[in-house]
Amino acid sequence: MINRRKFLLKSTIGTSGILLGVNALGKTIELKSASNYPIVISTWDFGIPANQAAWKVLSKGGRALDAVEAGVRIPEADPKNHSVGASGYPDRDGHVTLDACIMDEKGNCGGVAAMEYIDHPISVARMVMEKTPHVLLVGEGATQFALENGFKKKQLLNDESKKAWQEWLKTSKYQPEINVENKYYTPQKLPGNQYNHDTIGMLALDAAGNISGACTTSGMAFKLHGRVGDSPIIGAGLFVDNEVGGATSTGVGEEVIRNVGSFLVVELMRQGYTPENACKEAVNRIIKKNPEKAKNLQVGFLALNKKGEYGAYAIQKGFSYAVCNSEKQDTLIKGQSIY
């Protein structure tokens, strides 16, 4: 008979991150997947510093909801980040309008959309969730709510963003570029309208095994005034279900909304799909509806299940995501892609 010591010696981490062991019959079995959390994952390269802020909460046994809020506030406050938060590129008319939403393990959620003059939309989204009977506040109403709740009014359009917008006005051509996101960390490519879309979506599983998520963006650069993307829409840019896991998205929000992308990913995981395969299927649904159009646009999904397994898939190459857990706080992973 195999004794416990021998049993543990034979254990190994499987490719999906699950701890595997070999039972007395020589069969590989899952040992204790619960060891995969706490964990936090988020979209793109700037997910690394964001995850590290979330980790400060998670590593002390804090709640996933507090972790994701603290995490995404980092890119929201970064003056070099022109696609999330205060320094985001403006819309066609020069207004910086921000979108964000947040969702906790109980299914509570809140969001703000097309909100002006307030620099941390994710924290306003959380207040909508916790202090109102509503889920989504938009435009002037969202700003008014924020001001009534202690946020300060600020002019968000900074010099770099203004310069990029004025440059863009010369042609006024609205054309999102695939994967310009990755140029963020090669500042010589900035400014200009090179870097025109990018969102942080973050999912965290805390020590208690509860999941929460947050998503925040300034949306597509030089969009029509009043345009709202997927990021503040529960089910599109973000969805979590504490029985299953969570998902978030980045890329051209209109396509994500049309397919209720994040909800779809979570429902596929409920049916037994791995996080990566669920993201792949969601991406394929978008492609299937309009294959020609899909060749020229980017959408990426990121997912985390309740066991702490994660994965991502995008239409185009170049999507990256950051993973942070007790072993490593600065891992960047290349997402798989169809093209």
The binding site for ligand SD4 (CB under 6 A) comprises 181, 197-199, 217, 219-220, 229-231, 250-253
Minimum distance of ligand SD4 from residue 298's CB (angstroms): 7
* Cα–Cα distance measured from residue 238 to residue 3, given in angstroms and rounded to the nearest whole number: 45
| Minimum CB distance to ligand SD4 smaller for 262 or for 325 | 262
Contacts of 157 (CB under 8 A, 6+ apart): 90, 94, 95, 96, 165
| Minimum CB distance to ligand SD4 smaller for 206 or for 255 | 255
Minimum distance of ligand SD4 from residue 126's CB (angstroms): 19
**DSSP for 69-85, written as a single string:** HHHHHHHHH-TT-SSSG
Query: E-strand spans in the chain?
Result: 12-13, 19-22, 28-30, 39-43, 98-103, 109-115, 136-138, 200-205, 211-217, 238-241, 245-251, 299-305, 310-314, 320-325, 331-334, 336-337
* Cα–Cα distance measured from residue 154 to residue 85, given in angstroms and rounded to the nearest whole number: 12
Minimum distance of ligand SD4 from residue 1's CB (angstroms): 55
Minimum distance of ligand SD4 from residue 197's CB (angstroms): 3
* Cα–Cα distance measured from residue 125 to residue 121, given in angstroms and rounded to the nearest whole number: 6
| Minimum CB distance to ligand SD4 smaller for 116 or for 181 | 181
Angular region, 114: left φ>0, alpha ψ -120 to 50, beta rest: left
Contacts of 276 (CB under 8 A, 6+ apart): 303, 311, 312, 313, 336
| Minimum CB distance to ligand SD4 smaller for 220 or for 286 | 220
* Cα–Cα distance measured from residue 257 to residue 43, given in angstroms and rounded to the nearest whole number: 18
227 is in an annotated binding site: yes
| Minimum CB distance to ligand SD4 smaller for 76 or for 181 | 181
Minimum distance of ligand SD4 from residue 25's CB (angstroms): 48
260 is in an annotated binding site: no
Minimum distance of ligand SD4 from residue 45's CB (angstroms): 12
Cβ–Cβ < 8 Å for 253, 261: no
Structure tokens at 182: 């990755």
The one catalytic residue among 43, 143, 199, 217: 199
Is 274 part of the annotated catalytic residue set?
Answer: no
Beta strand pairing call for 336-337 and 310-314: parallel
250 is in an annotated binding site: yes
* Cα–Cα distance measured from residue 20 to residue 99, given in angstroms and rounded to the nearest whole number: 41
Residue 27 carries which DSSP code? -
171 is in an annotated binding site: no
228 is in an annotated binding site: yes
139 is in an annotated binding site: no
| Minimum CB distance to ligand SD4 smaller for 57 or for 178 | 178
* Cα–Cα distance measured from residue 122 to residue 142, given in angstroms and rounded to the nearest whole number: 12
Binding residues are 227-230, 250-253
Residue positions in the annotated binding site for substrate?
A: 227-230, 250-253
Active site residues: 199
